[in-house]
Structure 1
């Protein structure tokens, strides 16, 4: 289920939410038409109010989770760009030809990291990019090993900055894969349909149908759901993490 949700664009998933909500309301309306109108207060209304309150709570909860993951991905871009910049500065203290070779690989690594964020990326493309990153990290490690064997006096900072690049890259990849659990998305789907059904049932028992209120409810739930799912899919969503720190880094080391 989780893989299926990741393959669907957020807009399509949100439209499915909207369609299911409207269908649930319509079914409830048909059910309510069979019930005689009661002018008194119906105790069943309390269940509708409770389900709406639960829906609001779950919408806020899932939106907060998606937004926090988005912020974490943004921080990982800053952390990785800083780590690459520190490693490049440290490499500039080496002597040639090791300095030029290592700086070239670092620039290629930074550019490859930025290139993978330019547009939507499939799982196959991501796997190929990860393989390329691993190869570049292996090349950097080899060049650092050669510098150490040649007796460079900056062994400790050179090794530490290389480790920071590897660690920040792994942390950023983990943040990229950190998504909402599929069961929470399914629960959000159910919690959207059930209140719509109960509202439709109430309106069906009355002589007047509140179309404006119903459509407003569906629109707001769909909008919040879309933004939540869009934040949850960094590889396909329209709300993307800013790559400005990495762009500034590449501009500074390419001069």
Structure 2
């Protein structure tokens, strides 16, 4: 069966324009460079306009600098809050899916063989496809392949559930099994929806541009006031770069240093595989 059409519906996922290491390098270079450029432009204007004869507090640009820094702080605050919230939601939905898979497997144990073993095997096979790696999101094609594997395993679960419930079982057991399986399938939808929530690329670009222009104005302001470009400006640029790197890091599920921890799902899969192996032995 071809699942390409179903995969195409997940339009919230796109291949990253730049990898995380490249973003880190660009931010660490771009902001200090902006301070140098701003200082150079300020020196040219300082000599041309004769600001050496004007008191430092009367040099124009203070209001613009204050407004730019205030805007930058507002944008960084909103971006950090959103990225952190979405990261926690992705972790939460992964744990919820692990619990739903475990519940469906254990509830299926109320059935009789051969339907019980078939359904539990299908559930384990499906669970194994829910562990995504960095390679699975590296490109659009890799992401499509990952979803296709998940959909293929998922499509086998409900038919196996119906076959298992064809035997003579009580209505409460039938209801419990059907509910646990549907909850497991719903957990897939919730996890996919959470994974798709990220800061839009235009918003990220806007934050970077505002940060670059803010540092540029800081360097420019120092030159216009006849002051040297001190280490304090570069410390500010470095701290600002780190904050923006953390925001980008939180916004990426499987890349960077703050990845979503899949250990809960891994442990669940291991327990289910062990249970099947013991029964088979």
TM-score (norm 2): 0.82
Count the aligned residue pairs: 253
Counterpart of 2:27?
Answer: 17
Cα shift readout 1:209-248 (whole Å, capped 9, x = no counterpart): 2331121111111111111111112133231111122122
What is aligned with 2:111? 94
Higher relative contact order (CA 8 A, sep 6+): 1
Cα drift, residue 118 of structure 1: 6.7
Report if aligned partners of 1:5, 1:182 keep a CA contact under 8 Å in 2. no
Among 209, 222, 236, the alignment partner of 1:190 is 209
Structure 1 CA distance for aligned equivalents of residues 169 and 135 of structure 2: 41
Inter-partner Cα distance in structure 2 for 1:172 and 1:108: 18
- Identify the residue that residue 53 of structure 1 maps to in structure 2: 70
Change (3 A) 1:55 1:195: same
What TM-score do the two structures reach when normalised by structure 1? Answer: 0.90
Counterpart position of 2:157:
140
Pairing 1:222–2:241 present = yes
Q: Corresponding residue for 2:96?
A: 79
- Contact 1:6/1:233 (CA < 8 Å) preserved in 2? no
> CA offset at residue 40 of structure 1?
4.3
Measure the CA separation in 2 of the matches of 1:183 and 1:64: 17
Asked if the contact 2:111–2:165 (Cα under 8 Å) also holds between the matched residues in 1, the reply is: no
Q: Which residue of 2 aligns with 1:39?
A: 55
* Structure 1 residue 62 corresponds to structure 2 residue 79: yes
Matched position secondary structure for 2:110: coil
User: Quick check: 1:127 aligned with 2:144?
Assistant: yes
Question: 1:148 and 1:3 mapped to 2: Cα distance?
Answer: 37
Q: Which runs of 5 or more residues in structure 2 are unaligned?
A: 1-11, 275-281
Aligned CA distance change for structure 1 residues 220 and 5 (closer, same or farther; 3 Å): farther
The SS at the match of 2:129 is: helix
Structure 1 gaps, min length 5:
none
C-alpha contact (below 8 Å) 1:107/1:253 kept by paired residues: yes
| Aligned residue among 174, 180, 184 for 2:199 | 180
Change in CA separation of 1:205 and 1:11 when aligned onto 2, cut-off 3 Å: same
**Equivalent of residue 158 in structure 1, options 157, 160, 177:** 177
- Distance in 2, Cα, partners of 1:30 & 1:82: 59
| Deviation (angstroms), 1:192 | 0.4
